[in-house]
Amino acid sequence: MAGKLIDGTAIAAGVRQEVAGGVAAMAARNRRVRLAALLVGGTPAGGLYAQRQAQACGDVGIEYQLVQLSGQTTQRQAIDAIDRLNGDAQVTGIMLHLPLPAQLNAIELQYRIDPLKDAEGVNPANIGHVVYGKTLIAPCTALAVLELIRSTGVSLIGAEATVVGASEIAGKPISLLLAEQMATVTLCHLATRDLRMHSARADVLVVAVGKPGLIGRDDVREGAVVIDVGINRVKQADGSRKTVGDVDFDAVREKAGFITPVPGGVGPMTVAMLLKNTLRSASLLQSIR
């Protein structure tokens, strides 16, 4: 029997509704929720993404402020821009669009964002809080993965969870949040000797690598929860392009208990978690002001 589809779009809609309620409650107390997004350089993809983000914020009542800097911006100028947003009482959340032009150091800029305004949860202070089990604001993709697993009703306590991919933005924070939920976590990466040995015994398998078809039917345990974070544009036989994940969806769905589609799984949920984090930032700031 085919595994149940985890409908990220529908679950994200529920989160957005919840966020809209929270933003309205803040507004009723004359508190604004405003996300400032820093976009450096002018690629069409970046502009389109910012436009979609503005729409997503507008839909839940979050004010959106796009701060556009030229592609020639120096590190000093980018730091100054972040410092201005950190000091602006009207701004309650800040995010930095990636990728950045080559002359800029993304990590240094992420370090600079006030941890309380860190809507993407990328400041190391916030990652550190996750390590200590005192999460303030966690990375959006990791939160999205956790919410999607929760939606299945499968308990993480004592579960074997394998995370494939160990980046700072996806795999590592995902494995931290899973460990916080009392799963037994295995983190696999490029140097893992026998990936299948780890993936095929997982009750919960999260794949965040960026390689289409990396996980096939034999790599998955019968009845597992499979969360596909990967986003890959692939060329089809007729020359057109489509977006797929890292998991061979049709083959794995036959065996999995639950599975996320790509698109329509982790992607929309990550956007919803950015909105939720933005509301959380505003509430945290309110509680300390």
Residues of the shown chain interacting with ligand NAD in the complex, contacts defined by CB under 6 A: 141, 164-167, 169-171, 188-190, 192, 195, 208-211, 214, 229-232, 266-267, 270
Inter-CA distances, 221 with 10, 142, 149, 201, 250, Å: 26, 22, 16, 6, 15
Q: What angle do CA 136, 138, 144 make, to 5 degrees?
A: 135
Nearer residue to ligand NAD within complex by CB, 25 or 234: 234
Nearer residue to ligand NAD within complex by CB, 101 or 210: 210
Nearer residue to ligand NAD within complex by CB, 84 or 211: 211
> Cβ atoms within 10 A of the Cβ of 261, count?
19
Query: Least distance (Å) from ligand NAD to the CB of residue 129?
Result: 20
Query: Least distance (Å) from ligand NAD to the CB of residue 145?
Result: 9
Cβ partners under 8 Å of residue 202, min gap 6? 160, 161, 162, 186, 220, 221, 224
Nearer residue to ligand NAD within complex by CB, 210 or 216: 210
Nearer residue to ligand NAD within complex by CB, 80 or 218: 218
Query: Least distance (Å) from ligand NAD to the CB of residue 117?
Result: 21
Cβ partners under 8 Å of residue 203, min gap 6? 154, 159, 160, 161, 221, 224, 225
Nearer residue to ligand NAD within complex by CB, 81 or 262: 262
Query: Least distance (Å) from ligand NAD to the CB of residue 285?
Result: 25
Closest by CA to 207, choosing from 270, 143, 266, 122, is: 266
Helical segments of the chain, H only:
8-28, 44-60, 75-87, 106-112, 124-131, 140-152, 171-180, 195-199, 249-253, 266-288
